[in-house]
Amino acid sequence: MSQSNSGAPSGKQKLLNLTLASVTGLVGCLTLVIVLGAVFLGLWLDSRLGTRPWWTIGLVLGSIPISVVVMLFVVRLAVSKINTKTGRPQTTQPEETDLGDNS
């Protein structure tokens, strides 16, 4: 007896889901590394300069836009690689067609 598994995702869909999960994990880890780096650098600078909370607060607040930019860069890179592997065109602009002589 053979059962058709029509609800199960295809191999291509499984690969896409796995790729999206790995990109999400990568972005999360990069964000964590950037923020923790800012915290430790801020604590070190505060201990050296005697400005207890200010460098830490400033660097953590500054790490937020840096983290967002890195996140966008990684996601755009991953999406472009996914598009090239699946054979989709990378441009989203419609192609121009020759409509004949307009003179």
Q: What does each of the 103 residues of the chain score in pLDDT, given as a tens digit?
A: 455 566 777 888 898 889 899 999 999 999 999 999 999 999 999 999 999 899 999 999 999 999 999 999 999 999 898 887 766 555 556 556 656 666 5
What is residue 95's DSSP assignment? Answer: P
**Two tokens, residue 89:** 């065109």
- Within 8 A by CB and 6+ apart from 31, the residues are 67, 70, 71
Model pLDDT, residue 42? 97
Model pLDDT, residue 56? 96
> Which whole-number Å values give the CA distances from 75 to 7, 22, 36, in the listed order?
29, 11, 21
Model pLDDT, residue 83? 81
Model pLDDT, residue 10? 87
Q: What is the phi/psi pair of residue 13, to 5°?
A: -70, -40
Say if residues 74 and 23 touch (Cβ distance below 8 Å).
Answer: yes
